[in-house]
Structure 1
């Protein structure tokens, strides 16, 4: 291949392109191999609750094989398959939406110069040695060196710095690896702010700096709070199930050997010597014990968790939040600390003119007040539009740096006299002299000067009044005070002035006439301050991590409400943080509010420090430099306009880049966790009742109070429908006023234990009383058909469960509170009730039911409804004791 200078005007031939692609590979990033749907489906079986279900299924199949009693086994199998399938489908579909974003970015095309002339090709077809033609607004497609032209680059995608960097052609072939600080190096993912040039490609695809960072994101992250809590719950349920099983087995053996024989020890001893009888009774006790374990397992829980996550994922999409990983939603609700970027998240992401100060010190925050003085406004228009490297085109404002574009936007729409003014000569901005100047032919020889206030203000002797008159500049102290105030508010301030004679390129000014001071900054979003307050009120510490200097960062943090002026609040620079040991950083972390001049490594270190303290840490970011921290954080919030690498590393993509959308993610995360807890209350109450009745009823002479088919309805169908009902619980503002849950906080809290134990115990007592008390027996058994009484009992059990669901969904005394915000709940419970009625009147021998008289059905509903006042009394008691905090 020829040298870089020889290639400058020629470009690669077709053969050279193929040879380069063969040697260096294509210009595509190395992506994690997408897990197939089948593999993802199989991985879902690693869920802790699913593991319990699999064990229960195996025991069930082995135990009941000889009787071919497959109903329970089939029910558990359906529950496992549906839960894992829906979970896999939801996350697979979310990942597909993310892949679509990646495919859209791959459609970007670049202009290259090859032996056949200039052509436009997809970025993946670019090879090492290609000459890429660059202009303002284009994204660099690969790594390389600038060989011609001059560019100003936005490298924030790599280093987080919003300051534009000037790039000039390399004097020769670089021999060392390229670095962002090199004056000639260009990197994939960075953007041309202004200028034109030609780049020779030196690295493509995974060999680029962009691709190297992408490969570093393969490390495993720690388990989510939800997985930890489910593992704890699985362990708790296993212990409860085993203890209950042992108790049931011992009770059964006691009943069989002792109670049935009236404690006659001679008869008991004789039976114990009968080997076959002993084995039969032990096998019966073992069967009853394992049945207890199977019934105690909450089959509907995995399905409900999947349903509630999937349902809320769709809700969040409507709020500009794309969830890549389902567990990321729930984890958002557990956040303790959130490390957030400034640019584009808290701020609008672009520079705008915020204020204008005239020579008398008057501050104008609205240009309409300036336009009342047409002569002064005309000078402002000329100074902003003509002493500027930006241009106005059909596509909008193009070229120039961010400051130039802000000034041009401030002057628009230009009046005909201003837009038609011709430029005679121009002195471009030079960082050494900190000014630029332009001489116009119309008005004749008008010299406009723009530059740093410290360069311009000392040479100003007069100023333009709003009416266009020129007055002596006497209030310099006021102007300096205004300047100090503006810089303190994170503004970049420029001075605009008129010179009555030509100025030199070195800027020898004298007798300038001040037009005014322009304050430019990246304004905070209108909803940023309120969103920060919401997050802080939710007990989440917000830490702003930015590349800005300490003064600017502190000013923005104060305006957003991150800093409150308290002495205990820390604002650190990257250098100051580097001098802290890990122990010292952890000690200061609770009071940390701002990290200025932040480096990419600082973000990962902050996340590690928070996690070492047992906190759930969130991180926002949009650049390649943010990707490692996004990956490491418990929840990574990638911005919608960010790089593909950042989106790949994040769990959630904030499509509108707004901090308020992060608030929504936190709110929905908390809502999901509460919905899961409400469902667990309902399901464990049902399972407690089913297990207790199944165990206690035989001891009072009632065999099989609930049949296997009826248990299938209770454990599977009703639980699944209830899962759908609780999945629609509304996100309430009050959830954002609660402190975050601890990472290892158990799913079942004291309130839940109270409701499961209290309501469950009352329902069990009600059911046993119904089966044993003469009052109920005489009321429903006098129908010449014993199945009639058992149908009435089954109906009481189910309707009590349905009514318990209303108590489970709210800790309030009014069980209908906020029910209108979850219409599916009432509809689903109505459907469950209707299905129950169908079972009563059409179930027949399959469901062991017969037709109930309407008067008896009314009595059953009245008996079942007593669970509501019973739970009302429990809630009232907790409220008076000050323990009325709910789930």
Structure 2
């Protein structure tokens, strides 16, 4: 009999709410468009563009530039922030739509002496909550009456039953929560689920005071900068130094050049202050041109576009992107800490093997005598059943796993048969370690329980012919030990032809067979783990399981191979200093009995070592580490707190989807690098040409409007070409990148310098070799031809950077956007120089004839063979 509870009165509820607060756990505010838009101005590249726009504006008011130059830069900035904000809001809306599709949980409480159903938010300290099989525990409290079996996997990550019994009056939840607190005899925590039994809980903590609430609050800390943000900040600094120092040096060089041309300082200053001021303005104008040339204005846009496009691609492979930057971060991982339950394993107990009394693994359905008796031993000896939604409910985790093994159709068939009525039944209890059911019509008692209990009485078993033969205990014990080493729980089934005797097993028991039960490894997780490891990413399983179970699972998942692989428990880890842990991090494969603090600590230590860290998880216990990691992979079936913490949500809980996120992340970064190589070649060449040509007597080879077109309009369009580059399998064989690694690697620098120097050389050749001037009718056409040659060279190089191999058309059919945009840019360039009129005046262009176009194409196409030679002479990247 249960105790009689009157519960709180309405007045007491209000008083409790005022004193202890409500049961609401605050969520992050929805991402607003304007907040995201303004966040964009924190990007280092955007800040450089803002400085350039300000300088251009000053130059405009000084009469040294046209109005459309600063306007064009401002438009580029606004466009980048708009795309980034739109993508961020869309991702946040998709996540909130997923949450809103789920109804709020309700609790059964006793108030004013009667049972009421209220929403989770309305619970207060002191409430008496009725808990029954299948209920979620919605606040922290103490079991005051009854007996329960609880699943704490959402809190500690482990799919295991935790028995709870009524506490004495005055018992309180411990202030310091440890891994053992979850499994103590009386404490109940928000996020757990009742597996079996019935009881009453007295609520002691609500809202942010609960264990779940504290974890949610712990996630409010500032997230670390993503590897891409670190790299962009570094690149922005390098470009700033290059641009500003280069501009000052070249401006001074020009000033000295003017002095030399005048015949010395005395002669120069004698020309008058108006002439000197004009020269100073000219030198400053050239310096500004250098800065404009040095900055890759299209880079922020290409990043925004690539992130936006890959968000859609990932959703198709069951990855919901909460924060776009998480895509690239996934591709940069050095180490991945993976939760076991529900990520590497299936997250639920199931029958993995059935074997007979001689240890032979087989399909029970292949032997009618075994199948018939096994069905009765399971179906008529359980507290679980199928509900109207075809879901197994009631009973404990073992009962549920066995019923799934039996199947709904067979279970219902047994219920409908008259000769399968149960005459007498005794449920499983921890003292007997078995359950039994007597079926009068069959004249048999069926047993289900611990192997040692049944084998103590059984002398025979059913073999693969359905015959009763003697048991070889040594062979059978060896098989049981083998399964125990594989972290399986073994359960035995038998029958007796005698009536049931309570608390006893009859002496004539025939062993039907045995099963191995555990939370098994996902088959697809094994394959995905191998691929992730081949990508050079260290995978560490971090679990609340005991060490032996964790090692067994790790072996089957391909994580632990012995030898130098290291397995640590939480206790062992806590005894080690940070420096000691860092020294052995590369060898760690498993951390068992892990606490949330262990996960957060490992993330911190790895980040201090400049490693890019990923964390997967689905429970409340995973949330702080999910938040602190560079990228958190939250499982779609996990808790809301976990999803709130992660940058990516794996909708199908599949490790293979994590692999896909890493793959797409690497593709995204490589596509950004392709764009960088293309744009920095043209930018560097523009700097060289603008700086060198005037000293060679070539005045204004590229007008500011030409540079604006190349750096803003054309580069922005070109960014679209690389947003759709396909994900290639070989990217998963590349080595991971360090957090502080520069975007511009040594091979990239060589490629950029070689191609920009070549473009500078053919630019000088264009002006200094008389042949090219003969292809045009006048000087205006000749300069227009150079403008076209410079742009066409840029477009030829776009194919060069697509591939490290010799085939620049590799996988071109998988990126049709590249071809379309390439043709559009070429067509616009031709139209631009052919229109004349106002457009011609703005861009200082004049149409020219067929002979000039041949000269333009001939010089531009030299970009291909030069890069081909570079590729042939360059060492090939190493891949496993």
The TM-score normalised by the length of structure 1 is 0.92
Q: What per-residue deviation string (whole Å, max 9, x for no partner) do you get for residues 754-798 of structure 1?
A: 221111111121122212321000112xx2x43222222221111
Q: Which residue of 2 aligns with 1:677?
A: 673
Q: Which residue of 2 aligns with 1:819?
A: 812
**Match among 770, 777, 788 for residue 795 of structure 1:** 788
**Match among 460, 463, 475 for residue 462 of structure 1:** 460
Q: Which residue of 1 aligns with 2:230?
A: 228
- 2:454–2:505: 8 Å Cα contact kept in structure 1? no
For residues 435 and 573 of structure 2, the distance between their equivalents in structure 1, rounded to whole angstroms, comes to 38
| Aligned CA distance change for structure 1 residues 494 and 745 (closer, same or farther; 3 Å) | same
Q: Which residue of 2 aligns with 1:358?
A: 356
For residues 272 and 507 of structure 1, the distance between their equivalents in structure 2, rounded to whole angstroms, comes to 120
Q: What per-residue deviation string (whole Å, max 9, x for no partner) do you get for residues 516-563 of structure 1?
A: 111112222121111111111111111111222222222221111112
Cα deviation for residue 501 of structure 1 reads: 4.2
- 2:151–2:161: 8 Å Cα contact kept in structure 1? yes
Cα deviation for residue 508 of structure 1 reads: 5.8
Q: Which residue of 2 aligns with 1:398?
A: 393
Does the residue aligned with 1:351 lie in a helix, a strand or coil? Answer: strand
| Aligned CA distance change for structure 1 residues 403 and 884 (closer, same or farther; 3 Å) | closer
- 1:106–1:124: 8 Å Cα contact kept in structure 2? no
Q: Which residue of 2 aligns with 1:327?
A: 325
Instruction: Tell me, yes or no, if structure 1 residue 89 matches structure 2 residue 86.
Output: yes
- 1:106–1:122: 8 Å Cα contact kept in structure 2? no
Does the residue aligned with 1:608 lie in a helix, a strand or coil? Answer: helix
Q: Which residue of 2 aligns with 1:186?
A: 188
1:495-506 counterparts in 2 under 5 A?
495-501=492-498, 506=503
**Match among 709, 713, 735 for residue 713 of structure 1:** 709
Cα deviation for residue 12 of structure 1 reads: 4.8
Cα deviation for residue 492 of structure 1 reads: 1.2
| Aligned CA distance change for structure 1 residues 738 and 508 (closer, same or farther; 3 Å) | same
Instruction: Tell me, yes or no, if structure 1 residue 562 matches structure 2 residue 559.
Output: yes
Cα deviation for residue 855 of structure 1 reads: 4.7
For residues 394 and 49 of structure 2, the distance between their equivalents in structure 1, rounded to whole angstroms, comes to 63
1:509-658 counterparts in 2 under 5 A?
510-565=507-562, 567-658=563-654
Instruction: Tell me, yes or no, if structure 1 residue 374 matches structure 2 residue 368.
Output: yes
Bigger drift between 106-115 and 824-833 goes to 106-115
For residues 406 and 424 of structure 1, the distance between their equivalents in structure 2, rounded to whole angstroms, comes to 25
Does the residue aligned with 2:344 lie in a helix, a strand or coil? Answer: coil
Cα deviation for residue 128 of structure 1 reads: 3.7
Cα deviation for residue 344 of structure 1 reads: 1.1
For residues 455 and 602 of structure 1, the distance between their equivalents in structure 2, rounded to whole angstroms, comes to 39
- 1:875–1:884: 8 Å Cα contact kept in structure 2? no
**Match among 827, 834, 837 for residue 827 of structure 2:** 834
For residues 739 and 530 of structure 1, the distance between their equivalents in structure 2, rounded to whole angstroms, comes to 19
- 1:158–1:624: 8 Å Cα contact kept in structure 2? yes
Does the residue aligned with 2:359 lie in a helix, a strand or coil? Answer: coil
1:408-487 counterparts in 2 under 5 A?
408-412=403-407, 413-414=409-410, 416-417=413-414, 420=417, 421-444=420-443, 446-473=444-471, 475-487=472-484
Bigger drift between 527-536 and 65-74 goes to 65-74
Does the residue aligned with 2:138 lie in a helix, a strand or coil? Answer: coil
| Equivalent residue pairs, number | 864
Does the residue aligned with 1:851 lie in a helix, a strand or coil? Answer: coil
Instruction: Tell me, yes or no, if structure 1 residue 387 matches structure 2 residue 381.
Output: yes
For residues 441 and 169 of structure 2, the distance between their equivalents in structure 1, rounded to whole angstroms, comes to 44
Cα deviation for residue 852 of structure 1 reads: 3.1
Q: Which residue of 1 aligns with 2:490?
A: 493
Q: Which residue of 2 aligns with 1:288?
A: 286
| Aligned CA distance change for structure 1 residues 422 and 466 (closer, same or farther; 3 Å) | farther
For residues 291 and 800 of structure 1, the distance between their equivalents in structure 2, rounded to whole angstroms, comes to 20
For residues 860 and 587 of structure 1, the distance between their equivalents in structure 2, rounded to whole angstroms, comes to 59
Q: What per-residue deviation string (whole Å, max 9, x for no partner) do you get for residues 182-212 of structure 1?
A: 4333222111222334434333322222112
Instruction: Tell me, yes or no, if structure 1 residue 137 matches structure 2 residue 134.
Output: yes
Does the residue aligned with 2:27 lie in a helix, a strand or coil? Answer: coil
Instruction: Tell me, yes or no, if structure 1 residue 253 matches structure 2 residue 255.
Output: yes
| Aligned CA distance change for structure 1 residues 537 and 270 (closer, same or farther; 3 Å) | closer
Q: Which residue of 2 aligns with 1:215?
A: 217
Does the residue aligned with 1:460 lie in a helix, a strand or coil? Answer: coil
| Aligned CA distance change for structure 1 residues 410 and 34 (closer, same or farther; 3 Å) | closer
Instruction: Tell me, yes or no, if structure 1 residue 868 matches structure 2 residue 864.
Output: yes
Cα deviation for residue 273 of structure 1 reads: 7.9
Cα deviation for residue 224 of structure 1 reads: 2.0
For residues 239 and 577 of structure 1, the distance between their equivalents in structure 2, rounded to whole angstroms, comes to 45
Cα deviation for residue 114 of structure 1 reads: 4.2
For residues 530 and 836 of structure 1, the distance between their equivalents in structure 2, rounded to whole angstroms, comes to 49
Q: What per-residue deviation string (whole Å, max 9, x for no partner) do you get for residues 134-159 of structure 1?
A: 33323222223334443211111112
For residues 615 and 672 of structure 2, the distance between their equivalents in structure 1, rounded to whole angstroms, comes to 25
**Match among 180, 205, 208 for residue 206 of structure 1:** 208
Ranges in structure 2 where 5+ consecutive residues have no aligned partner: 176-180
For residues 228 and 541 of structure 1, the distance between their equivalents in structure 2, rounded to whole angstroms, comes to 22
Q: What per-residue deviation string (whole Å, max 9, x for no partner) do you get for residues 255-280 of structure 1?
A: 3121x34xx44x85453684444343
Does the residue aligned with 1:598 lie in a helix, a strand or coil? Answer: coil
For residues 355 and 88 of structure 1, the distance between their equivalents in structure 2, rounded to whole angstroms, comes to 52
1:34-183 counterparts in 2 under 5 A?
34=30, 36-67=32-63, 69-105=66-102, 107-115=104-112, 118-175=115-172, 177=174, 180-183=182-185
- 2:244–2:291: 8 Å Cα contact kept in structure 1? yes
| Aligned CA distance change for structure 1 residues 502 and 147 (closer, same or farther; 3 Å) | farther
Cα deviation for residue 342 of structure 1 reads: 1.3
- 1:705–1:790: 8 Å Cα contact kept in structure 2? yes
Q: Which residue of 2 aligns with 1:304?
A: 302
Does the residue aligned with 1:201 lie in a helix, a strand or coil? Answer: strand
For residues 62 and 417 of structure 1, the distance between their equivalents in structure 2, rounded to whole angstroms, comes to 88
Q: What per-residue deviation string (whole Å, max 9, x for no partner) do you get for residues 596-622 of structure 1?
A: 222222212222232233222211111
Cα deviation for residue 498 of structure 1 reads: 1.9
For residues 26 and 495 of structure 1, the distance between their equivalents in structure 2, rounded to whole angstroms, comes to 48
Q: Which residue of 1 aligns with 2:726?
A: 730
Ranges in structure 1 where 5+ consecutive residues have no aligned partner: none
For residues 718 and 85 of structure 1, the distance between their equivalents in structure 2, rounded to whole angstroms, comes to 19
Q: What per-residue deviation string (whole Å, max 9, x for no partner) do you get for residues 469-514 of structure 1?
A: 42222x2221112112222222211111223445665546634221
For residues 183 and 655 of structure 2, the distance between their equivalents in structure 1, rounded to whole angstroms, comes to 31
